[in-house]
Amino acid sequence: RTLEHFKNHISDQGTERLSQVDTIEFNHVYFAYPGTSTPVLTDINLFLKKERVALVGLNGSGKSTFIKLLLRMYDPDEGTILINGRDIREYSLVELRSNFSVYFQSMKNYCFTLKENFTIADDDQAEENVDKRILTALDLAQCEDILQKTRLRGRGLNTSITRLFDHEGIELSGGQYQKLSIARTFFRRHTALILDEPSSNLDPIAEDQIFQSLRCITKGKLTIFTTHRFSNVSLADRIIVFEKGKIVEDGSQRQLLAKKNRYYEMFNIQKEKYNSDEKS
């Protein structure tokens, strides 16, 4: 069977154009994955504007599902999701998704050239200055170590990733593969950015440098990122705390720490762990 035989279970009948993402709104959204009866999201009500938003919570709390609904990988069982005040079903899937650049934890790289790994992410970009834009994205994602490997091969952006199709290709570490995926996310044109656990395999220095880059490139853009590392939450203007499919807290880090509720508890557990690791 070919991919053409697989049916899209999301109805794609929208006709509205979407030039940029200014606001996102969830109104009484409920959702359970097909074939299950256990709700993953329950009565989600949220309004987001052009701000940097961190989604935090334990594994299985609903953070990634929230993102999947926003991108219409699934439709909610109840409630509505609006972008710029319109139901997202009024936009075609191409219009909707072309406005987001997304990094998922399971993001894969391709056994093609380094350049092709970028152009495949946004194949309708004009060729003018494409190499320069790729190099800028690699720099923002702290990929100098990857570029150094390509220079040793003498082929630059035309160096193959892995040796699957080219014995002159380069092999990368898990952290380097993650940085390459992040660089591709930065390269893709977007009006809103989504990053799902963007630093899980990174060393502390690369992690800090990438979040410094994020601080610059996300200014004035609606940015959503999930993280388990609260050291990164300082990037966020706003923190949304998920627990068992519900939003239990919403505010700035200062506000949530002052309330001494769920976020305060999780923050201090992580803080105490770092302190105990340093002592040992």
Asked if residue 277 has pLDDT above 90, the reply is no
* 49-64 average pLDDT score: 94
Q: Is 88 or 190 the better-scoring residue by pLDDT?
A: 88
What pLDDT is stored for residue 246 in this prediction? Answer: 98
Higher pLDDT, 200 or 68: 68
For residues 180 and 172, the answer to whether their CB atoms sit within 8 Å is yes
Residues 6+ apart with CB under 8 A from 241: 56, 57, 247, 248, 249, 250, 256, 262, 263, 266
- The Cα 138–Cα 125 span in angstroms is 17
Q: Does residue 278 have a pLDDT over 60?
A: no
- Identify the bridge partners of residue 127 per DSSP, sorted by sequence position: none
Residue 225: pLDDT band with limits 50, 70, 90: very high
**pLDDT of amino acid 85:** 97
201 compared with 161, residue with greater pLDDT = 161
- Which one has a higher pLDDT value, 231 or 257? 257
Give the predicted TM-score (pTM) of the model: 0.88
- Residues 8-27 have pLDDT tens digits of 678 899 999 999 999 999 99
Sequence-distant (≥ 6) Cβ neighbours of residue 268 within 8 angstroms: none
Judged by DSSP in three states, 142 sits in: coil
The tens digit of pLDDT for each residue in 85-131 reads: 999 999 999 999 999 999 987 777 889 999 999 998 776 665 678 99
Length of the chain: 280
Residue 7: what pLDDT? 66
- Positive or negative, the CA dihedral 133, 139, 142, 145 is positive
Average the pLDDT over 188-194 and give the result: 91
